[in-house]
Structure 1
Amino acid sequence: MDRPDPISAPFGAFALSAFPERLRRLPMSLPLNGLRRAAETVVRRVLMAGGREIADIEVFPGQFARLHLRDNRCEKRVFAGSRTWDDAERAEIRQRIAAHAGDTPFVFVDAGANAGLYTLSVLADAQTLGKPVTVIAVEPDPENRRRLEFNLTASTAKDVTVAPVALGAEAGEAHLSVSGRNRGEVHVEQDGDGVTVPLRPLRQVLAENGIDRVDVMKIDIEGYEAPVLDAFFAEAPRNLWPGMILIETRHDAAIEDSAAGLCLKHGYGVAQQMRQNAVLVLQNGEV
């Protein structure tokens, strides 16, 4: 029997049968510690041992995704580990959503949205907490964006706008370099032979989507964070600066010398340092 087409097949075509699905969910019942993480690794290997490449699952409560297990590290990790995947980072965002007051939507910017897992997590938490939400998901890579949009459709997601651009210091064009081993690592290059995409400053993307306040921004654009943030802080009014920024720091020897360090110079403080990321919070007062 022919396999379903991973692009055109409707969600559910790659759903796990009853026993594999029970096995996939098994680690979620364990305490949130090293035992659960070890169990997730074992379960993932067992379920992928037969050559499984794609799986349609409920990735977070009420949110659904078609996961590509062989070429995207994030999608692979969340397959049997949706509770432990970036759990500390997502907990920080969840607390911000819970504390959000008033009738105005909580605004989340997912810069480097990849397949949309952070966006789906925010949507799930906002729904659980009964909070309105607006999401701007920025993803320049056509394949990652196709996966993102598929997952949003499968989740019947509302209040999400996908910006099909790469972020840069100024408007123009750029080329994308994609890692063959991990589609989550898409690099922006000024010169190259990769796919050409529009390059837009962050402030412009926010303005074009009617955003005048950002509660939380997750930015993971593979080393291009510094020029994007430098231009943004220079051009954007302070009231547009995100109240909290989640930024990758795993490639940096010292946070002071990184894009996160640039945020610190502009009045942010480190709320929490994780293994790969830092949570930065904008402090009160003038810079």
Structure 2
Amino acid sequence: MSQAATPLLDTRSPFGTYPAERMVRVAWRLADRHDLSKGLRKRIRALVARIFKGPYDLEADGLKFRIYPGENYDDRKILAKGRLPERAEHKLIEPLLGQGKVFVDVGANIGSYSIFAAGLGADVLSIEANPQTADKLSFNVRANDLKNVTIVNSAVGPRDDTLPLWLEPSNCGFATFVKDLTTGEWAGDWSPTFVQVRPLTAIVDEQGLCRIDVLKVDVEGFEDRVVLPFLRHADKGLWPRVILLETNCRPYWSEDCLPELASRGYQVTGQTDDNMIFELGV
């Protein structure tokens, strides 16, 4: 199928319909070269994205994904590197997952965490705010024939609400409720779409969860408004044993999560460039 005929979003065709051929992989590896200047890499990426925007079907670390590299950072990394992104984070949480464990993924994107955790045998609650991204996530779950993943298409916040979710077409995985993030370093062609927001306590209760072994939260500067209300209102028995928290947008939080996590008995047991691991009662 020619690229011009490729649909913008295809969640119906069987996995394997869109093979990532050698030229595609070479082009995206070039666009991901970090020995090039940031400006040059951005120009190359824009050109490659116009020609090889996707979708493409491929396997990474033994897991199947239909990816759209022209519009998502995680997709580009999977295609350029031939493996899942966040490998360091996966290594940190892998010993905590497996049969009988419960993994809650807030800001699930296309499923690089959810599908990884489900592949290890954990029961996964996968929450994604962007409806189109949630559709991509659903396809990837089906492609891997996973029966232990429940997907909820909702944003998570401190209360029931409807809020503008800001989207940038070159990286739909970087959707944010924090308008300040749409300028400066991350300036681009942002536009808002209004989505439903629900507290994590309500979603967890609706799904009938009675424990959470690992909670991962990656919502681009809105992490504090997910985690802190949950800890303040959920029964202590529902507090996650481990929280994987994205901290690279910490300056945009309304409240700093770290002191309250410490006061509730969470200790830092791991850290990467973008995330921190907190474990309860270490």
Distance 1:254-1:3 versus aligned 2 partners, 3 A rule = closer
Give the paired residue count: 253
Query: 1:8-23 counterparts in 2 under 5 A?
Result: 8=10, 9-17=13-21, 19=22
CA distance in 2, matches of 1:50, 1:74: 17
Q: Is the contact made by 2:105 and 2:125 (CA closer than 8 Å) also made in structure 1?
A: yes
Q: Are the aligned partners of 1:108 and 1:217 in contact in 2 as well (CA < 8 Å)?
A: yes
C-alpha displacement at 1:115, in angstroms? 1.1
Separation (CA, whole Å) in 1 of partners of 2:138 and 2:156: 19
TM-aligned CA distance change 1:196 to 1:50, over 3 Å: closer
Which residue of 161, 176, 196 maps to 1:198? 196
Residue 232 of structure 1 corresponds to: 230
Task: Within 5 Å, give how 1:163-178 maps onto structure 2.
Answer: 163-178=152-167
Letter in 2 for 1:81: K
Q: Check conservation: 2:111, 2:140, Cα contact below 8 A.
A: yes
Q: Supply the distance in 2 between the matched residues of 1:121 and 1:234 (Cα, whole angstroms).
A: 29
Partner of 1:52: 52
* Residue aligned with 1:281, SS: strand
Native 8 Å contact 2:114 2:126 kept in 1: yes
User: Where do 5+ consecutive residues of structure 2 fail to align?
Assistant: 36-40, 180-190
Distance 2:175 2:78 in 1: 19
Matched, 1:91 2:91: yes
Q: 2:148 aligns with which of 151, 159, 174?
A: 159
1:270 is displaced (CA, Å) by 0.6
Identity percentage of aligned residues: 28
Distance 1:6 1:60 in 2: 26
Aligned-partner Cα distance in 2 for 1:209–1:110:
13
Structure-1 separation of matches of 2:53 and 2:117: 26
1:73 counterpart residue number: 73
From 91, 105, 119, the counterpart of 2:100 = 105
Q: Report the Cα distance in structure 2 between the residues aligned to 1:228 and 1:113, rounded to whole angstroms.
A: 14
User: How does the TM-score come out when normalised to structure 1?
Assistant: 0.77
Shift of 1:92: 1.2
AA aligned to 1:14 is Y
Name 1:33's counterpart in structure 2.
Answer: none
Structure 2 counterpart of 1:263, one-letter code: L
Find the aligned partners of 2:201 and 2:214 in 1 and give their Cα distance.
15
CA distance in 2, matches of 1:266, 1:53: 45
Equivalent residue, structure 1, for 2:182: none
Query: Residue 254 and residue 282 in structure 1: after superposition, are their counterparts in 2 closer, same or farther (change >3 A)?
Result: farther
1:253 shift after superposition: 5.9
Shift of 1:112: 0.3
- Contact 2:84/2:112 (8 A) holds in 1: no
Q: Which residue matches 2:267? A: 269
Which residue is 1:32 aligned to? none
Letter in structure 2 aligned against 1:144: T
Q: CA deviation at 1:81?
A: 2.5
